[in-house]
């Protein structure tokens, strides 16, 4: 299957390069997602059988001050990509986020639950979802959460960096979700785009996140345990760590429909964490 991937150096795009090196990857140097027309033109000019959008504005706090710039990348560009893919009759897999929900309650969010983003990032990602749906083509919106890998900026690398100079860290304990390895997301994207090409009726919104659910504090403890770092994790509430953008407390995602439709089980993030730490040279 000939694939066009938007994104080149992000966490998921990097893993897609490993798993599908024959795909065509469009980084910012080739196509800037702040130019939706250029994104559509790239799809129209391609000779591919499927498209994956693995690029996004992910600077959550910066989006609060630069919402229109984030909207171009997270909403307008995906909508343009989706319309161009629909016109060509090829399926699109678009990665979205748990931030489209308001984070209330403790029950895992189902794909058809009411949305209610708390900030600019979530609003722009939700608008992107609508643009993809409205394009009318074969599509899968794949919501995920707490992405980590050996590449880019993420929680695992931040914790390891802080552990180099500290033996005690305060980490938020009242936000709960599923850490999700970028490698597993990449594999899921490839599975889904192939499935959509064979059966466009599987179009829709799907959830894919790592298991088991944990807090950021729990995630940190497992990082330090596996890395052999003697760091004490002090649990704090979100209110003790104010940020420009509000974070959802409940980021649990119900992935049962995704497993039933595509055979994709929730990846065990603890096992993938071992792989990431090994790649980073951080195992004891």
- Reported as half-sphere exposure (CB side, CA atoms, 13 A), residue 88 has a value of 24
Torsion of CA 130, 132, 135, 136, to 10 degrees: -100
As a whole number of angstroms, the distance between CA 116 and CA 111 comes to: 13
Over residues 176-230, the pLDDT tens digits come to 999 999 999 999 999 999 999 999 999 999 999 999 999 999 999 999 999 999 9
The whole-angstrom separation of Cα 207 and Cα 98 is 9
Tell me which of 25, 121, 206, 269 is the catalytic residue. 121
Note the pLDDT tens digit of each residue in 189-198: 999 999 999 9
In a domain, 102, yes or no: yes
> Angle, to 10 degrees, between the axis of helix 269-279 and the axis of helix 155-163?
60
Q: What's the pTM value of the predicted model, to 2 decimals? A: 0.97
Write 152-158 long-range contacts (CB < 8 A, 24+). Answer: 152/9, 152/10, 152/11, 152/14, 154/11, 155/179, 155/216, 155/219, 155/220, 155/223, 156/223, 156/273, 156/276, 156/277, 156/280, 157/280
Asked whether residue 276 is assigned to any structural domain, the reply reads no
In the annotation, is 121 catalytic?
yes
Q: Is the distance from CB of 74 to CB of 125 less than 8 angstroms? A: yes
CA–CA separation, 94 vs 274, rounded Å?
27
- What is the number of other CB atoms lying within 10 angstroms of the CB of residue 162? 14
The rounded distance, in Å, linking the Cα atoms of 234 and 237 is 10
Answer whether residue 19 is part of any domain.
Answer: yes
Q: Which domain holds residue 140?
A: 3-154+180-211+253-267
Confidence of residue 237 (pLDDT cuts 50, 70, 90): very high
C-alpha closest to that of 195 among 82, 47, 92, 81: 92
Q: What CATH number is given to the structural domain containing 137?
A: 3.40.50.720
Tell me how many domains the chain contains: 1
Residue 239 lies in a domain: no
Q: Does residue 225 lie within any of the structural domains? A: no
Structure tokens at 164: 């180099």
Domain presence at residue 171: no
Instruction: Note the Cα 210 to chain centre separation in Å.
Output: 11
**Is residue 185 included in any domain, yes or no?**
yes
Does residue 230 form part of some domain?
A: no
Contact predicate 53/6, CB 8 Å:
yes
Q: How confident is the model at residue 272 (pLDDT cuts 50, 70, 90)?
A: very high
The contacts of residue 87 (CB under 8 Å, 6+ apart) are 44, 137
Q: Over the stretch 81-124, which tens digit does the pLDDT of each residue have?
A: 999 999 999 999 999 999 999 999 999 999 999 999 999 999 99
């Amino acid at each position: 299957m000939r694939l066009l991937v938007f994104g080149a150096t992000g966490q998921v795009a990097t893993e897609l390069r490993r798993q599908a090196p024959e795909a065509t990857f469009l980084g910012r140097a080739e196509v800037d997602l702040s130019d939706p027309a250029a994104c559509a033109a790239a799809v129209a000019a391609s000779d591919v059988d499927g498209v994956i959008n693995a690029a996004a504005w992910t600077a959550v706090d910066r989006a609060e001050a630069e919402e229109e710039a984030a909207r171009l990348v997270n909403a307008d560009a995906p909508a343009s990509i989706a319309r161009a893919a629909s016109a060509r009759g090829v399926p699109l897999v678009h990665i979205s986020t748990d931030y489209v929900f308001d984070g209330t309650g403790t029950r895992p969010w189902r794909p058809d639950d009411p949305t209610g983003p708390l900030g600019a990032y979530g609003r722009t990602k939700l608008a992107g979802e609508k643009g993809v749906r409205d394009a009318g083509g074969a599509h899968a919106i794949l919501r995920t959460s707490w992405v980590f890998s050996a590449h880019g900026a993420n929680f695992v690398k931040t914790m390891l960096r802080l552990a180099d100079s500290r033996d005690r860290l305060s980490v938020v304990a009242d936000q709960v979700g599923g850490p999700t390895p970028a490698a597993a997301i990449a594999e899921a994207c490839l599975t889904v785009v192939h499935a959509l090409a064979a059966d466009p009726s599987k179009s829709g919104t799907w959830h894919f996140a790592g298991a088991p659910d944990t807090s950021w504090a729990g995630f940190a403890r497992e990082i330090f345990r596996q890395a052999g770092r003697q760091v004490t994790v002090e649990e704090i509430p979100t209110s003790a760590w104010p940020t420009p953008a509000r974070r959802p407390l409940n980021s649990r995602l119900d992935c049962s429909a995704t497993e039933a439709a595509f055979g994709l089980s929730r990846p065990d993030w603890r096992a993938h964490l071992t792989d990431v730490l090994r790649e980073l040279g951080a195992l004891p």
